[in-house]
Amino acid sequence: MLDGHVTRTRTTMELFLVLVSLLFVTRCGKTTAEESAPAVINMVVREGDDAVLSCSFGSRSTELELFDWKKDGQKEVFMYDRGTHYNNNPTNQDPDFRGRVFHFAQQLDVGNASVVIRPTKVTDSGSYTCDFPFHQPSRRSHIVLVVGEWLKNRPDISGASPEPIVKILAETDKGVQVHCAVKGAFPKPVVQWKDRAGNIVPAEEPQVSERRGSYDVILQTTVTKTDYYQCVATQKEIKHRVYTETLVLVPVPGNRSGWIVVDFWRGFCLLFFWLFFWL
């Protein structure tokens, strides 16, 4: 009887230990995977400008480390190995990047493993990773770079916000509702309503949606006076600004017109009596 009890207890303990082990392995595996996947940084630059790809090893010096930059997981962009790098030994560097990628030599002692591509080309667009292969997790940076070009002599680059679409919605007892839509922009633009003098007009909370890596933004407001109004979309990251201007006529309240007529006749009568008296 006692042997049977001991056997059941041992079996229960073994099962408990197995469950705990599985839970521990699952949790640890999940944590490791999450830590090894860096946040993706999206960058947009204009063709011909510099593109600084950020990567850091914290405050630890990288002078005696090895870090490797690759594009799309295959192309060798830049490798630094304890003082030797592709600018003095470009044997394995992809020909597309030779002579165009530079590191920050004076900042290696503070852990800066960033590089700069200059000048950029449209073909540089892609996914870049920075790895420290002798440390786990090895990947420390992941950047998606988009290089835009000038199109048809217009100051627009790929991903730049198009001209906002403006609509007048309805008249209310507070004024006139106006609607502005900016579609297919990357990076996400800041959208504002402004009057002709450049003053920001208070508006509702913008409605933002993302689709296929670009953003749609809708911004509505109610204006209370007749004026020219601008819907302005600004993308500071790519130094791009575009706007659409429209004239909004705000009706005078119903009882206002009556006062205008009264004031007109009152002024006319005063002028008549003044002329009659002096003449």
**CA–CA dist 53, 40 (Å, integer):** 12
CA 247 from centre of chain: 31
Residue of 132, 134, 89, 138 lying closest to 111 (CA atoms): 132
**pLDDT attached to residue 21:** 42
Residue of 91, 90, 89, 86 lying closest to 102 (CA atoms): 86
**pLDDT attached to residue 176:** 93
**CA–CA dist 125, 186 (Å, integer):** 14
37-57 per-position pLDDT tens digit = 567 888 878 788 888 898 887
**pLDDT attached to residue 190:** 95
**pLDDT attached to residue 259:** 40
**pLDDT attached to residue 175:** 92
**CA–CA dist 176, 223 (Å, integer):** 5
How many other β-carbons are positioned within 10 Å of the β-carbon of residue 122? Answer: 13
**CA–CA dist 94, 90 (Å, integer):** 8
147-184 per-position pLDDT tens digit = 876 443 344 565 688 889 999 998 888 899 999 999 98
Pick out the chain residues at pLDDT < 50: 1-13, 15-35, 150-155, 255-263
- Cα angle, residue 243 at apex, residues 237 and 248 outer, rounded to 5°: 150
**pLDDT attached to residue 35:** 45
pTM, two decimal places: 0.45
**pLDDT attached to residue 279:** 59
Place of tokens 């009887």: 1
**pLDDT attached to residue 217:** 96
**pLDDT attached to residue 271:** 59
Residue 81 φ then ψ, to 5°: -140, 90
